Structure 1
Amino acid sequence: MFRHIVLFRIHDHVSDAYVDAVIDTMQSFVLFPGVVSWTTTRSLDERKGRVVVEDATFESREAFERFRGDPAHVSAGTTMSEISDWWVGDYEA
């Protein structure tokens, strides 16, 4: 199994409605081939601002690499780079 965990610190000027739309788009990645589990949600702790948590498990590193190159992921990455700063934790379980 390959784990991919990302914390997105959303910029303050981004509307809640836009964040919700982005979360909906990212949550649809649960249907991508090779995904074992996928959750995209807001952190309940907003002391440091709005944080979106992406917690994904893939069948393998290869499945993750295929996902990473998919146009839907590339588009989401571009969007997230415009509205947030992020930290990634990838590892093999």
Structure 2
Amino acid sequence: MADKERTILSKESILTADDLPTEAVEAEEWGGWILIRTLTGRQRDRLEADLLTGKKNGQINLDNVRAKMVVATAVDQDGNQLHQPGDEVKYTVLYT
């Protein structure tokens, strides 16, 4: 069996890679579809830091986590985020 040819990536090829897949997800309860994009590294870091903020002994704060995920991942058809940080408060009523 031949070895798989290796492609060594450059800094530029890594930084310009289109590596954030977007998927249309049916939101039946909202009467349509929503585009969800994979979190960037920074978005994921912020979300994970928020989950630990204010908790003692490494406990995870899951308060409003689903709304935070929607805010962090929902995009329009051009790939622009639909929401701004803090918009998760508007979704609170959906998850109570």
Report TM bin, short chain: under 0.3
TM-score where L is the length of structure 1: 0.26
Higher relative contact order (CA 8 A, sep 6+): 1
TM-score where L is the length of structure 2: 0.26
Higher strand share: 1
